[in-house]
Amino acid sequence: MNEQLLQQGFNVLSSASVYALVAIGLSVIFGLSGIINIAYGDFMTLGAYVVFVVAPGGAIAFIWGFAASAVAVAVLSIVLERALFRWTLIRPVNGFLVSLGLAQIIENGVAWHFGQDSVTVAPANSANWTLGGVIMSADRVIIILGTIALVVGLILFLDRTQTGTAIRAIAADREAAALMGIPVTRLVTGVFALGGLIAGLGGGFVALLQPPYPLLGAELVLKGFVVALVGGLGSVRGAVIGAVLLAFIETVLVTAGLAGWLDVIEFGAVILLLIIRPQGLARGLAHSM
Amino acid sequence: MPTGNLRRGSADVAPAAASRDAGTGRSLLTGLNRIRRRGSAPSGESSWGATIAQLVALTVIAVVFAASGVPAEYITLGVTVFIYAILASAIALLYHDGGLLSVAHGGLWGVGAYAAAVLVTKYNWQLGPVVLAAALAAGIVGMSLASISTRVAGSYFIIILFAVSEVIYGVMINWNSVTNGAEGIVLATPASLFGYRISTNMQWYYVTLITLLVVLLLLRVIKQSQLGQHLRAIRDSRPLATSVGISVARVHMASFAITGAMAGISGVYWAYLEKYVVPSQFSATASISFVVVVLLGGSAYLLGPLLGAVVVIFLPSLLHLSPLLADALIGVIFIAVILLFPEGVVGLVTWSLRLLMARTGLGRWLGPPGGKAPADEAGDTQQPVRPEHESRPAEEGLREA
């Protein structure tokens, strides 16, 4: 019984990792620019496909796959921010609309180039470790540890460094931050790059969990938003808490045999929560990062 | 600020304010109304003459198109355009006049389609009652969206409506006894209306065209009505609208119910046209493509959403592109339109036409909503031309430094 519980806990953590990465990326970008970037999930899809192109055979080549996807998606994010999102910062709704167009381009482009079916990526490490009766596939351990490292690094960066403080200042009040001499536009670009980096790594992790297909990210992104919303859009810690909560609820529901109604219950609960408590569970980037 | 665009409790304030200040509020609004009517049309509308001219032009073009012997598949595409335009025009009212970008209307569309499929296949209903029932069902589901729009605004509203569309999709796919789950329902029975059988696509072409004309006329009436005035007042400033006695809850409920009903009717036609309903047609992706249709054409113009639908539906088959590439191309065009011509394709067309016809007086027929009145009406009480939503309070605080 105890072992079963631990096993469930392990599974919860590995799916929470992916949700957390999506939600954090969305959250940080929203906190700084006010843009709901619905194409963010598709950035992850691109990351997963970069891994597929660079390291289809898995094993040690995965390190190169991760590096390539992180760099590629980060660079893409910078380009898109400079070329498109920059012009929508005054009216973030337009940023959302632009991201709708981007999502359409990426999803259809990927489907056209790689085909609509999923592609296979061999595992990075096919070993299964058993620890205290809990079976842990090496890939999931990589995902969990990688996510924890990323989250801790991100929180330290935002809390402790001067750049992180500047980013939080922009999230709190863009104009005041600019008056204090903070290079606002450059940091917004920087945060888009950071978001791209997270999406690239997250895409790599997802490729380890399941075979990539063109709509992979599109299906993740709505859950990512829900997680971010529950955690309070803009808050990194909130996103992590929300992700663990979501993964936990999913595991419970699946165990209870309600797998089909999963989305209805989750999204329905979030709607109710937001009707009762519109500000979410945590507060935004500026307050509680 | 991330939390800056939260609004709560305005619904609770409204009734009290209404009873106290109803008199003042109404007289203030009608006063404004009178001023605007005397000058140019109120924001969001062109004159009635222009509306009638546009609808007549639409009818003539549509009839000539159908009678000109184009291939049968173009007629089918035409029906699809009208079906899309009915729904997109409803979404445009919410977006342009209400400042509410609904990504749940694809789900309401599905509610209508499923209502039709179930009522026809299980109970053998006729088209008339089916349309009424579907409008009612989708209208009621739509009305419940007001419980969200009165509490959260801006980005939060968009995200929660995505959640709503996922819930609707999930119910469709899981409620097997009614919806037949992921397998969907085949709807092969021809419709009958007042004893006439409607089975060919040419018949559907005219049925949907007439419905579209009625819907456009209705939307035009709503824009000018008190409901439309209140909707715009709420869009521009919720606290101000509440303070003059407008009930945000009531106005939003009415708007969502009406546009939801239109979505439901559109869904009925879709079910008949496709002869098959399945949940994946009504997912969040569907809602997104309707948003694209609305903004591609231009939400401020009566015929904007229709034009957006024409582009989205006809472009792939005219260019002989694979559907995937065509969708990607529409994404590219969409981004270009959003960034370069925020008023949509119709905005671009009218702008260039007005440039051409500035001196001929023809420009008045194409006058943009709330925009500069033609030269002969100019002068007395024009509203300044202001891009839509530029000054919406929900978004202030997010200005570029």
pLDDT tens column, A129-140: 877 777 888 888
| Domain annotation covers residue A75 | yes
Residue of A nearest to B9 (CA): A278
CATH at residue A264: 1.10.3470
* ipTM score for this prediction: 0.89
CB B254 within 8 A of CB B91: no
Asked if pLDDT for residue B16 goes beyond 80, the answer is no
Q: Does the pLDDT of residue A127 top 80, yes or no? A: no
Q: Is residue A66 part of a domain?
A: yes
Q: Is residue A253 part of a domain?
A: yes
Residue A124 belongs to a domain: yes
Looking at the domain assignment, is residue A204 inside a domain? yes
* Residue A1, pLDDT above cutoff 90: no
How sure is the predictor about A279, in pLDDT bands with cuts at 50, 70 and 90?
A: low
Q: Which residues contact A158 (CB under 8 A, 6 or more apart)?
A: A164, A165, A167, A168, A236, A289
CB atoms B170 and A98 under 8 Å: no
Q: What is the pLDDT of residue A255?
A: 84
**Mean pLDDT for the stretch of residues B183-211:** 87
Q: Structural domain tally of chain A?
A: 1
In whole numbers, what is the pLDDT of chain B averaged over residues? 80
Look at residue B6 and tell me whether its pLDDT is greater than 50: no
B335, A112: Cβ pair inside 8 Å? Answer: no
The reply to whether A2 falls in a domain is no
Task: Examine residue A133 and state whether it is found in any structural domain, yes or no.
Answer: yes
Pairwise CA distance, residues A132 & B265, whole Å: 59
In a domain, A1, yes or no: no
Model confidence band, residue A161 (pLDDT cutoffs 50, 70, 90): very high
**Confidence band of A121 (pLDDT split at 50, 70, 90):** confident
Distance of CA A267 to the CA centre of its chain: 18
Of B8, B170, B322, the CB nearest to A264: B170
Interface probe, candidates B157, B311, B324, B341, chain A, greatest A C-beta count within 10 A: B324
CB of B400 within 8 Å of any CB in chain A? yes
Among residues A52, A33, A50, A84, the alpha carbon closest in space to that of A200 is found at A50
**What share of chain B has pLDDT > 70, as a percent?**
78
- Region of poorest pLDDT, from A5-9, A277-281, B16-20, B99-103: B16-20
Whether B341 and chain A come into contact, CB under 8 Å, resolves to no
Where residue B55 falls among pLDDT bands split at 50, 70, 90? Answer: very high
Q: What angle do CA B24, B43, B105 make, to 5 degrees?
A: 100
Residues spanned by the domain of A274: 8-288
Average pLDDT, chain A: 87
pLDDT tens readout for residues A215-264: 999 889 998 988 888 887 888 888 898 899 888 888 888 888 888 888 89
Mean pLDDT, residues A206-220 taken together: 90
Distance CA B190, CA B161 (A): 34
